[in-house]
A and B are shown apart, each in its own frame.
Chain A
Amino acid sequence: MDIGTTTQFAGLLRDHRDELLKRWTANAGTGLRGRLAEAELARQIRELYDALRGTVVTEGELTLDSPAAVELRAVLGELSRQRALHGFTATETAISVFALKEAVLGVLDAGESGSLRLFVAVSQFVDELGLFTFEAYSRTREALIAEQAEQLLELSTPVVKLWDGVVAVPLVGTLDSARAQVVMERLLQTLVDTGSPYAIIDITGVPAVDTQVAQHILKTVVAARLMGADCVISGIRPQIAQTIVALGIEFGDIVTKASLADALMHTLRAGGFELNRRAVRRD
């Protein structure tokens, strides 16, 4: 917006504060369909309005990235963040900003010279504000999603106690570095908490074991050993076994079993459990 139009806009904001606020809030309210308390919406719009006025009165060309617009950017950013956190859509958020256009149109005197030019300029500037809102909104949503993914990561790696002294981690899906780290920490913590001498890592749900997955598993086994626990790897399906061999991966002296049941049997036997001895004698 050039200086002439900016001055005109500043005058409009100064002379029609109440009317503009009323129209802006009403228009924004329609876009939100009553999902936000009226008083809260009015407060948000008032804050935006005052930040806008503070930006528009300053001399020079009006753009959102000018130093004078720092307060306006902060208010817009906070509004977008709040809306994103409270589950409003990006459109609902942007509409609150775009609603200013109609408000300005409502107070402009159509007959007055230059009012069309002013409206076009204001409209462009409001578009800029809308885009900024959209970006700030997306950033908040992305952060939220990343946080949820992290929580899911925690959830998807349960460590279960199978027997007194035997804990198991069933791995399902892709074992990337981030998950491998979580699995290892969880397993070690559970070993400490339960004082279990045995841990079973079950890979039935892992679609492919490449060198990265193997390395993660090996590291986990070594760490568990340092804590005084013995690890058994179970759930090695035929195709995985053949692939591991072809890759040249060696699990050394780590005990591997075809199924979780076999692994449990092995640990019970190694631990000298009563029940296990009887079960073995029977078959």
Chain B
Amino acid sequence: MALADSGGDVEALPITADEDVVRVRQLVRSRAVAAKLSLIDQTKLVTAASELARNTLVHGGGGRAEVSTVTNGRRNGIRVHFADDGPGIADLDLAMTDGYTSGTGMGLGLSGARRLVDEFDIDTGPGAGTRVTVTKWSR
């Protein structure tokens, strides 16, 4: 994943309950608006964040989100980082498959989130927790 300058305005939120998912969504939306992302890109990023925040809560047993505004010189973007100390994902290929769920979901959150953003980075393993970082750039 290409590193970009963080604007230094990282905001962190805990994810321990349903209403925290809503809070993450609202923070991401207000940051995306401020970074002048298009309405479609705002909606895509907010939806991806919603999926990843809920995965952090439901599968990761809770964790935190960090939202920052980034720039690569030419464009601004919003980066959201999710981290939990949960069980981690043993078979990442399987988890990223459309329709695979270990629970009762649609199994589209993780794979769908990847399609909704410009950059998607996941670091996970059995017993190692899960960290997902996504970035959406302005056009």
Contacts and interface: CB of A to CB of B under 8 A. Distances in A.
Chain B binding site: helix, strand, loop or mixed by DSSP? helix
A215 B106 contact: yes
Interface in A226-281: 238-240, 242-243, 246-249
B34 interface: no
Contacts of B22: 174, 176
A208 B115 contact: no
Contact of B25 (A208, A246, A248, A249): A208
Chain A binding site: helix, strand, loop or mixed by DSSP? helix
Contacts of A214: 106
A248 B98 contact: yes
Given A243-B116, A246-B116, A248-B112, A211 B106 contact: yes
B18 A208 contact: no
B51 A238 contact: no
Contacts of B47: 208-210, 243, 247
Contact of B39 (A176, A239, A248): A239
A212 B58 CA distance: 12
Contact of A177 (B18, B25, B46): B18
Given A176-B18, A247-B108, A212 B43 contact: no
Contacts of B115: 246-248
B111 interface: yes
Interface in B99-139: 105-106, 108-109, 111-112, 115-116
B51 A211 contact: yes
Interface of B: 18, 22, 25, 29, 39-40, 42-44, 46-47, 50-51, 54, 98, 105-106, 108-109, 111-112, 115-116
Interface of A: 174, 176-177, 207-212, 214-215, 238-240, 242-243, 246-249
Q: Report the 10 A-B pairs with minimum CB-CB distance, sorted nearest first.
A: A247-B112, A239-B43, A210-B50, A239-B40, A211-B106, A246-B115, A248-B108, A208-B47, A243-B47, A208-B46
